[in-house]
Amino acid sequence: MLPIFGCPDSMRVQKINTMLEKSIRKCNPRPALRTLLCLLLLFVTMPAAFADISGIYPQVHSLFPTADRFGETEGTPPAAPVYQNNQLIGYAFLTGDMVRIPAYSGQPINVLVGIDTSGRIMGARIVHHEEPILAAGVSEERLAKYVDQYRGKPTSGRIIVGGQREGYATVDAISGATITIMVVNATITRAVRMVAESRGIQSAETGAQPTTSITATMREPISSLPKTSAKTAPRPVSKTTSPPSPPTTNAALSHTPLTAAPAPALPIFASETDDEEPLWVILWSQRKLEIALLLTGLILLTNILLFQDYLARHPLLLVRVRLGFLIYTLFFIGWYGLGQLSIINVLTFMKAVMHQFSWDTFLIDPMLFLLWSFVAVTLLLWGRGVYCGWLCPFGALQELTFKLARKLKLPYFDIPHMVHERLLALKVVILLALFGLSLQSMSWAIKAAEIEPFKTAITLRFQREWGYIAFALGIIALAAFNRKFYCKYICPLGAALIIPGRFHTFEWLRRRKECGKPCQVCAVECEVQAIRPTGEIVINECHHCLDCQVTYYNNRKCSPLVEKRKRRERLKGPDPDKGSDEPVASSGLEDIPISVKPVDKTT
């Protein structure tokens, strides 16, 4: 029942009705019993429909500590009048009843907001959300500190997240949850403006607003989002309400409120919403530099894939290019751009496809949208390895840790092939479990998805409780002794990418007929263990590091090339290109038959 009470009243009533109706149809009762059940249904839903807002959301008392009575929710947009000594002092309302902007999870965030009659926000409380970063990455204390910043802000909607701008009030963001916080800010400012305008409340002037720093790590200033693309959702309300009393001074505030009487509902909100710029357009325009740097990196990676044969012939260049790109992936895509993909993205997409798909949900974060678009193309062209080997920030962190451990000459171990083959199924089992949980409850799936250390290590930059940090550091430490252990056996995102990766088009990883029979050089050198002893590359498990391609072109390591080089040296002397990694084509002299005629000593 907790998810039901976290929704707006109309949504809660609808869910209760649906649940009871399904139970009635399932039982198939007799007519008399059916009538009795219908009366019971009416009895259960009536308190939710007619209870005042303080009975359903007791948090409203913290917004209006001096209030002694809350009226019934009414009007368009719906809001509940708040009284002190029978005098109107403000309004309380739920943003979910008028503004529904899809957030990171694809679902809107419902916020309880209070405004006074002088045009200032009395406070806000988040009452329902399905955001992964808020559910398991941000403590209740940090979340409460964030929403407390709205107390005293003007109802004009001129509020920005981060930075300073003339004529705007400012609130600080929460590190690692910038997109979600932007949606919360847009939701609050839009709803507050709608209620204030409909009740004839003039906004207070914006003065210098002191802000409390929530995090040490802050982004560049983010512009205000007062106007966003949102769906209005008016709910049915009771027509019988208490007559409004004359406004009075709010003793809870230090300023004198303006006299304002409730105005009739304005019928122009829907048309205003249709004309406003979508939220994702504003977010994209504010992150132009990040988008440009990401597109540059994706173009570079595309060229690496197209010219991989050239790089494989020049292993020193490949090592430098790959090391530089892994650092770019970790520091820019991961820790700066917060572009770490997650299994939650996959589950959200599947849920949107099955229910109500909207591009606005996925366009809200430009970094994630561009990355997923690129990954979708590369999955169909080259398979899973492009993302897992080059674009995953946590994978890059593991890879750099493994390289550092080799420099320090730390020991490492390989898992026996038979055990390795069976452990590969573990990540698929984890994926199926998360998918099953998401069908029942997305919040359950979000909590279970903590098996991904991405949020701790990348999104929140290790700024979490010690238990999560210990788990992430343990995974990274394990990667120092076994290359990308987590990616091979546990990662549910990698398991999800395997499914479309099976339909890849290109087979650009070259092999020879001698591979595996008898040559085992590549299979032994592949620390990811993506090459079977029989010589085949398992594309579903390959991370496209190109190490095997370096060996393929190396006439000092690849057995067929080594044999040809030795025969050539025996026939015509030392190879002038000795030490080069590039193969030298056979001259064919070894195939010419040579016969020696004996010398007749008698002549």
DSSP letters of 316-343?
Answer: HHHHHHHHHHHHHIIIIIIIIT-----H
What is the value of pTM for the model shown? 0.70
Same domain as 331, residue 275: no
519: phi then psi, degrees, rounded to nearest 5: -70, 135
Domain end position, chosen among 447, 480, 509? 509
Do you know the residue count of the chain?
A: 603
Q: What is the pLDDT of residue 35?
A: 66
Q: What is the pLDDT of residue 36?
A: 63
pLDDT at 268 over 60: no
In this structure, is residue 297 part of a structural domain? yes
Q: What is the pLDDT of residue 396?
A: 97
Domain end position, chosen among 455, 480, 509? 509
Which element (helix H / strand E) includes 380? Answer: helix 366-381
In this structure, is residue 568 part of a structural domain? no
Once rounded to an integer, what is the mean pLDDT over residues 564-575?
79
- For residues 259 and 183, the model is more confident at 183
Same domain as 499, residue 353: yes
Distances (CA, A) of 23 to 20, 288, 344, 428, 546: 5, 52, 31, 35, 58
Q: What is the pLDDT of residue 352?
A: 78
- For residues 12 and 446, the model is more confident at 446
pLDDT at 32 over 70: no
Distance between CA 196 and CA 155 in Å, rounded?
7
Tens digits of residue pLDDT in 293-320: 999 999 999 999 999 999 999 999 999 9
Q: Work out the pLDDT band at 176, boundaries 50, 70, 90.
A: low
Whose CA is closest to 458, among 466, 468, 448? 468
Same domain as 488, residue 353: yes
Cβ pair 73, 56 in contact under 8 A: no
Range of the domain at 198: 58-284
pLDDT at 506 over 80: yes
Q: What is the pLDDT of residue 486?
A: 97
pLDDT at 262 over 70: no
Q: Work out the pLDDT band at 133, boundaries 50, 70, 90.
A: low
Same domain as 351, residue 207: no
Distance between CA 44 and CA 17 in Å, rounded?
9
Q: What is the pLDDT of residue 88?
A: 94
- 534 burial class (0-12, 13-18, 19+ CB within 10 angstroms)? exposed
Cβ pair 115, 196 in contact under 8 A: yes
pLDDT at 1 over 50: no
Cβ pair 416, 508 in contact under 8 A: no
- SS3 for 96-122, per residue? HHCCECCCCCCCCCEEEEEEECCCEEE
pLDDT at 592 over 50: no
The identity of residue 528, as a single letter, is V
User: Which of 150-159, 445-454, 471-480 is predicted least confidently?
Assistant: 150-159
The identity of residue 413, as a single letter, is F
Distance between CA 458 and CA 463 in Å, rounded?
10
Same domain as 29, residue 111: no
Same domain as 333, residue 472: yes
- For residues 81 and 22, the model is more confident at 81
- For residues 587 and 422, the model is more confident at 422
Q: What is the pLDDT of residue 157?
A: 79
pLDDT at 390 over 70: yes
Q: What is the mean pLDDT of the chain?
A: 78
Query: DSSP character for 245?
Result: P
Q: Where in 25-153 does DSSP place strands (E)?
A: 69-70, 80-84, 87-94, 110-116, 121-128
Same domain as 214, residue 98: yes
pLDDT at 341 over 50: yes
Query: DSSP character for 92?
Result: E
pLDDT at 444 over 80: yes
Q: What is the pLDDT of residue 51?
A: 57
Cβ pair 169, 209 in contact under 8 A: yes
pLDDT at 573 over 80: no
- For residues 137 and 139, the model is more confident at 139
The identity of residue 10, as a single letter, is S
> What is the β-pairing status of strands 80-84 and 87-94?
antiparallel
228 Cβ neighbours under 8 A, 6+ residues apart = 99, 101, 186, 187, 190, 276, 277, 278, 279, 282
In this structure, is residue 544 part of a structural domain? no
Q: Which two tokens stand for residue 354?
A: 């099955």
Same domain as 335, residue 447: yes
Q: 159 forms bridges with which residues in the sheet?
A: 169
Once rounded to an integer, what is the mean pLDDT over residues 448-461?
92
* Helix, strand or coil, per DSSP, at residue 167: coil
Same domain as 317, residue 224: no
Same domain as 102, residue 37: no
Judged by phi (left if over 0) then psi (alpha if -120 to 50, else beta), residue 45 lies in alpha
The identity of residue 506, as a single letter, is F
pLDDT at 238 over 50: no
In this structure, is residue 536 part of a structural domain? no
Which element (helix H / strand E) includes 160? Answer: strand 159-161
In this structure, is residue 571 part of a structural domain? no
Of all residues in the chain, the percent with pLDDT exceeding 70 is: 71
User: Which of 23-27, 185-189, 440-444, 513-517 is predicted least confidently?
Assistant: 23-27
pLDDT at 14 over 70: no
User: Which of 101-105, 222-226, 511-515 is predicted least confidently?
Assistant: 222-226
In this structure, is residue 356 part of a structural domain? yes
Cβ pair 305, 386 in contact under 8 A: yes
Q: What is the pLDDT of residue 579?
A: 44
Distance between CA 142 and CA 465 in Å, rounded?
13
In this structure, is residue 5 part of a structural domain? yes
Q: Work out the pLDDT band at 387, boundaries 50, 70, 90.
A: very high
User: Which of 140-149, 229-238, 350-359, 443-452 is predicted least confidently?
Assistant: 229-238
- For residues 535 and 574, the model is more confident at 535
371: phi then psi, degrees, rounded to nearest 5: -65, -45
Q: What is the pLDDT of residue 530?
A: 94
Distance between CA 549 and CA 553 in Å, rounded?
7
In this structure, is residue 603 part of a structural domain? no
pLDDT at 108 over 80: yes
Domain end position, chosen among 454, 477, 509? 509
Same domain as 41, residue 77: no
Q: Where in 162-264 does DSSP place strands (E)?
A: 169-171
Which residue is listed with tokens 């403000």? 90
Once rounded to an integer, what is the mean pLDDT over residues 486-503?
95
pLDDT at 102 over 70: yes
Query: DSSP character for 164?
Result: -
Whose CA is closest to 53, among 69, 42, 39, 36? 69
Same domain as 245, residue 96: yes
Once rounded to an integer, what is the mean pLDDT over residues 128-137?
70
- For residues 322 and 161, the model is more confident at 322
Tally of CA atoms within 13 A in the half-sphere of 6 that contains its CB: 12
Once rounded to an integer, what is the mean pLDDT over residues 558-574?
84
Q: Which two tokens stand for residue 491?
A: 């990662």
Q: What is the pLDDT of residue 588?
A: 46
Number of domains within the chain: 3
Q: Work out the pLDDT band at 4, boundaries 50, 70, 90.
A: very low
